[in-house]
Amino acid sequence: MSNNRLSFLGILFGMIAGAAWGLAFLIPNILSSFSSLEITLGRYFMYGSYSLLLFMIYKTNPLHIPARVWSRALLYAFTGNIGYFFFLVLGIKYAGATITALIIGTLPIVISFVGNLLNKEFPFKILLIPACLILIGIFLLSSSGQGDVSSLPVTKSSLLLGFLCCFIALALWTWYGISNANFLKKETEVTPNLFSTIVGIQTLTLVGFVLLISKLTNQQIMSNLIVQDGFMEYLIGIIVLGIIASWVATWAWNQTSIRLTVSIAGMMIVFETIFGLLYSFVYYATFPTILEWVSIIFILQGITFGIWKINRHRIAEQK
């Protein structure tokens, strides 16, 4: 398969991953009567259950999968799913949604730069202009107040704690994004499709551990869900989050990771924010402001220019 076809498919899968992840911006707002913990555990319980079901349907023998794959999947289940989302929610709680969105919004740039630093894929100057364009877009998007739903007063101590949580979340997903891509390119024992399912099963393991701890400590965090108003909406919401925003997104991200360099794959993450905004505009029947349009244009220009520059560099090296 040619490099151009690989790049095209990688970008396409990156957009699919972003479209799936973008649902995580909208559905928690729809399920606002439920706590973040209830939504998080429900989402990853469904992700894990669906993965386990697929594993059983395809009659995969777990003994044929090396222990290193299972252990790595458990690590990714924490860094890329539960651990990341946990610190993200804490960041929103203590620092506010706008600051959190601004810090986490730098994820595409951080992954691109750190990935290039570790893998030495091309000169850093190639990333400079695309990174600036994306950062300007993210800053303008945060300035527009999009997603700022926190009306709680923020003290200096809580702000510092919020910053810490945001940077922990940023570090966790940065490591996951780069490590996962490198692991899949080197690992021959499992396909990207199977690995997304294994990560889901290990995510279910972590959810089970959290629920066991809550049971032992008499923290019945999920016991009253069934009797709450809107339980059917909650059930539909976590099914969508678990299957589409988690399994499909992870599957598509794995497809992107094996087809693109880490730096280009990192840029694809901005589609999560873009699709999240589009879903919100459609659901709430609103239209983007001029500032939001400008920010989206800056982000898309950054991605397009970055991919063009990197491809030009790769073509020049092949001559």
Rounded to an integer, the average pLDDT of 199-206 is: 96
Amino acid at 72: R
pTM of the model: 0.87
Give the residue numbers spanning the domain of 79. 3-318
Report helix, strand or coil for 286.
Answer: coil
Q: Is residue 285 packed enough to be buried (19+ CB in 10 Å), middle (13-18) or exposed (0-12)?
A: exposed
Q: What is the total count of domains within the chain?
A: 1
Least confident of 6-10, 142-146, 240-244: 142-146
Q: DSSP secondary structure string, 24-71?
A: HHHHHHHTTTS-HHHHHHHHHHHHHHHHHHHHHHTT--GGGS-HHHHH
Per-residue pLDDT, averaged over 288-299, amounts to 87
**pLDDT at res. 25:** 80
Is the C-alpha dihedral spanning 78, 80, 81, 85 positive or negative?
Answer: positive
Question: For the chain, what is the total number of helices (H) and then of strands (E)?
Answer: 15, 0
